[in-house]
Amino acid sequence: MKSKSILLVEDNPSDIELTKRAFAQGRITNDLSVVQDGQEALDYLFCKGKYAVRVSTDMPALILLDLNLPRIDGLEVLRRVRSTETTRRLPVVILTSSKEEHDLATSYDLGVNSYIRKPVDFHQFADAIKHLGLYWLVINEPPPIG
């Protein structure tokens, strides 16, 4: 069986790298797909645009979603994911620098599974990623497909 994949939606290249590094340090070897803006994330998930050839049933086991994104922001991506039949059950974890109450409230209203604020201290960040991966990819039972 193919290992569960993770979709990282993040526009900051430095953060992408650091996230990958944190995954590595946390010994999380799952396939990590990275898209750099909201539109791309939606194309990926709905198999459109340059991801049109992707197999639509091959959904990520976890979406790590930044909020402040070019083109379509993270909250809008979340809204579409939750309102589309094929993706509405996907576990989505917001991973962002924002601690704005508005962002928190909207995210939870839209049905986010978890909301994590990226700390400046990389140790803490890596720690959070490690826990996150462990929880969502190992401990947590994924939703049924379809």
Site residues (CB under 8 A) for other proteins?
12, 14-15, 18, 21, 67-68, 96-100, 118-123, 125
The nearer residue to other proteins, 43 or 73, going by C-beta atoms, is 73
For other proteins, the closer of residues 15 and 43 by Cβ is 15
- The nearest distance, CB 106 to other proteins, in angstroms, is 13
Query: Looking at beta carbons only, is 25 or 86 nearer to other proteins?
Result: 25
Find residue 8's DSSP bridge partners. 34, 64
Identify the CA nearest to 46 among candidates 86, 88, 19, 6: 86
Q: How far apart are CA 145 and CA 65, in angstroms?
A: 21
Q: Are strands 6-9 and 32-35 parallel, antiparallel or unpaired?
A: parallel
Minimum CB separation of residue 70 from other proteins in Å reads 13
Q: What's the min distance (Å) between Cβ of 119 and other proteins? A: 8
User: CB of 77 within 8 A of CB of 48?
Assistant: no
Q: Specify the residue, 35 or 129, whose C-beta has the smaller distance to other proteins.
A: 129
Closest separation between CB of residue 120 and other proteins, Å? 3
CA–CA dist 1, 136 (Å, integer): 18
